[in-house]
Amino acid sequence: MFDGLQHFSDWLIYSVFSLGADSHLGTALNFFVYDTIKILILLFVIVFIMGIVNEYFPVERLKNYLHRNKLYGLEYLFASVFGAITPFCSCSSVPLFIGFVQGGIPLGVTFAFLITSPLVNEVAIAIFIGMFGLKATLIYVLSGIILGMLGGWILDKFNLTPLLSDWVKSILDSKTQPGTFEEEQKSFRERLPDITRGAWDIVKGVLLYVIIGIGIGAAMHGFVPENFFGQYLGGGQWWTVPLAVILAVPMYANAAGIVPVIQVFVAKGVPLGTAIAFMMGTIGLSIPEATLLKKVMTMKLIGIYFGVVTVFIIISGFIFNLLL
Amino acid sequence: MRQIKVLGPGCPKCKTTYKNALEAVEQSGLPAEVTKVEDIEEMMKYNVLTTPVLVVDEDIKIKGRVASVSEIANYLR
C-alpha cells in the first residue's frame, strides 16, 4: 500500500538530494520523509473514520443508555469501548465524570470510561498502525479496552464514594437528572463538512508533535547502533516493565510524539510489550490530568485510581512480552 | 446584545474557541459579549459532557469541538 511512497522517499533523498543510501544522514532523512507522509495519511483516515462513528454515537447517547438499562456487567464493556472511540481531551474528563455521576452511572463504570479514554485514542491508533502494523495495534487497542473494564470493575469493589470531593457528593445526594439529549436529525451529507473539519483540526493539532517525534526517531534510527538497547533492556529482565511504566506515568507526552520514538527503541532491541506498556503509562496517566481531577476527587482517590491503572499497565506489559 | 459563552476548563481547544468567538464578533461588527466560563460548577449547569462548548444566548450550539470563526459568525446573524 505504501510502496509508492517508499519509492518517492528513495527518489527524493537518494536522487534529488543525492545522499548515499549507506550514509547515516541519508537513511535518517529517508526514514523521516517516508514516515511523516505515511503517518499523516493514516492519521487523517483514522481520525476521519472515528469522527463519523462519533457523530452517530456521541457520548451523551452512552450516558442515557447506561442510565436507562440494566446490563449485568456489560456496562463496563460499553463504557470502555466508548472511551476508546471518543476523542479525548484531558479537560473533558472532569465534565464527563460529573455528568456520568449525575446521570446515576456507577463510579466503577465511570472509571472504566475514564481509564480507556486517554489510553486508546484515534491519534495513537493511527500512528501505531504506521509504526508497528495491524497486529500490534489490535493487541494495543484490545488490551486498552480490557484494562479499562477490569480497572473500573476493581475500583467499583472499593468503597470510593466517601473519597469524592464534597461538591460531587452533594451532586450525588441531589436527584439524578434524566438525560436531555436530543438526537440531531441530519443526513450524512449535512454532517460531512463538520466531520472533515473536525478531523483536519485534530491532525493539524498534532502535526508538530508528529514531525518532532518522527524527527527524533529518524535521528536515533540512523545513529543509535543496532541492538543498542537490547544489550541493556532486551534480555527479558523482569524489572524492565515496571521500571518503564513507573518512569512513564509522570511524563506527559502526546501519543503523536512518543510512538515514533518508541518505535526506534523497539527496532534497537527493546521488547515490544515493554514499549507498549511504556506508551500506555505516558498517555494514559499524567500529572496534568491528576491536577484536573482534584476538583472532583480527593488526593487519596486519585492515588488509588492511578495506582490501580499503573498496576494493570505493568501486568499487561508482562502479558504482551509473553505473547509477542 | 447577544451573549456568547465559551465553556471549558482551559485546555488549548477551549482557548482556540474563545479566540475564534472574539474574532467572529469583531468581524461581524455586531454588539455581542463573549465570556469564558472556566468554573466547573457553573459549566455543569449546562449539562454538558464534552468541552469546549459554545453557548449563544443560553442555547448550546456546539459541544466537544472547536467552533470555527465562520460557524460562530453564522450564529450571530
Nearest chain A residue to B42, by CA: A95
Binned at pLDDT 50, 70 and 90, residue A100 comes out as confident
Interface contact flag, B68 A197, Cβ < 8 Å: yes
Q: What is the pTM of this model?
A: 0.84
User: Which of B49, B51, B55 would best serve as a mutation to test chain A binding (most A beta carbons within 10 A)?
Assistant: B49
Could you read off the pLDDT of A129-163 as tens digits, one per residue? Answer: 988 889 889 989 999 999 999 999 999 998 888 89
CA distance A293 to chain B (A): 11
Q: Which of B41, B50, B66 sits opposite A96 (nearest CB)?
A: B50
Is the reported ipTM for this assembly greater than 0.85? no
Q: Tell me how many domains chain B contains.
A: 1
The minimum CA-CA distance between B39 and chain A, rounded to whole Å, is 10
- For residues B14 and B6, the answer to whether their CB atoms sit within 8 Å is yes
Do A221 and A267 meet the contact criterion of CB atoms below 8 Å apart? Answer: yes
Cell numbers for A49: 473514520
Chain A and chain B share a number of CB contacts under 8 A equal to 57
When the pLDDT of each residue in chain A is averaged and rounded to a whole number, the result is 84
What is the distance between the alpha carbons of residues B7 and B49, in angstroms, rounded to a whole number? 11
Assign residue B19 the CATH number of its domain: 3.40.30.10
Farthest CA pair distance, chain A: 71
| Residue range A194-231, pLDDT digits in tens | 888 888 888 888 888 888 988 888 888 777 777 777 67
CA distances from A157 to A117, A316, B13 (A): 21, 21, 35
How far is A13 from A221, CA to CA, in rounded Å?
A: 16
pLDDT at A183: 57
Which residues from B are below 8 Å from A95, CB to CB? Answer: 9, 40, 43-44, 48-51
The Cα of A197 is separated from the nearest Cα of chain B by a number of Å equal to 9
CB of A285 within 8 A of CB of A144? no
Annotated catalytic residue: which of B3, B11, B12, B40? B11
Amino acid type, A193 = P
Decide: A287 and A85 in contact? Cβ < 8 Å.
no
Q: Are strands B32-37 and B53-56 parallel, antiparallel or unpaired?
A: unpaired
Which residues are B37's β-sheet partners? B7
Give B65's contacts in chain A (Cβ within 8 Å): 198, 201
The reported pLDDT for the residue numbered B74 is 86
Residues of the domain holding B51: 2-76
